[in-house]
Amino acid sequence: MHFLPENIDQYAVDHSQPEPELLQQLNRETWQKVLNPRMLSGHYQGRILSLLSKIIRPKVILELGTYTGYSALCLLEGLDPEGEIHTIDQNEELYDLQRKYFDLSGAGARIHQHLGRADTILPSLNIKYDLVFMDADKRNYPKYLEMILPQMNSGGIILSDNVLWSGKVVEQLDPYDEDTKALLDYNKTLATHPQLETVLLPIRDGLTLTRVK
């Protein structure tokens, strides 16, 4: 979902860092072979994720929602040389594609894939996180936040994708729309929680930047 005029949006892309070759390859393969390729972070948002990761220099990254691995590879660019990424996804059909590109990055050993439900896997990860990228099933965002918050290091960053949800967050709520309802609750929590500092950025479908005090 693009909220800016197309020519302004394109200007922003044209005047941002180019997409690295490996990510260009993954972008193409995703659009050629995988269902719902619009779920890909893509060039512009990927460069934002990369730059934020480079600023933060996290030692441990958690990603909820791997898809084809594009966003994980973007976050990898700022990972501490001794750091690691834990990425969780339910779709076993994408596991080998993810691993192919993780290994091609030269840092595949530092990217740990977890296959299954996030609410089942998270309790088994006894790790403190410096950076979390939330991009999984929207109706469980509030639950995931509750689970990860105790595991965040002070000063840690939570990035939350799709928080504008194609504009549905400002439309009349369909009582049967569980995803939008969950996002409304989640966005309110991020903005009002005493432990969090939050800015919602109108980038693509909405990206929230949250700092844990």
Task: List the Cα angle 33/179/96 in 5-degree steps.
Answer: 25
| Predicted local distance difference test score (pLDDT) of residue 1 | 61
pLDDT tens figures, 121-159: 999 999 999 999 999 999 999 999 999 999 999 999 999
Is residue 5 helix, strand or coil? Answer: coil
Can you state the percent helix, strand and coil of the chain, rounding each to 5?
Answer: 50, 20, 30
Positions of the chain with pLDDT lower than 70, given as ranges: 1-2
Q: What pLDDT score was predicted for residue 52?
A: 98
φ, ψ at 136 (rounded to 5°) = -110, -155
Strands 129-134 and 196-201: unpaired
**According to the model, what pLDDT value does residue 202 have?**
92
Contact 73, 26 (CB under 8 A): yes
Order the strands of the 129-134 sheet from edge to edge. Answer: 111-115, 84-89, 60-64, 129-134, 152-161, 207-212, 196-201
Taking alpha carbons only, the member of 82, 137, 92, 142 closest to residue 113 is 92
Q: What are the structure tokens assigned to 169, written together?
A: 């967050």
The length of the chain in residues reads 213
Which pLDDT value is given to residue 66? 97
Q: How far apart are CA 9 and CA 84, in angstroms?
A: 33
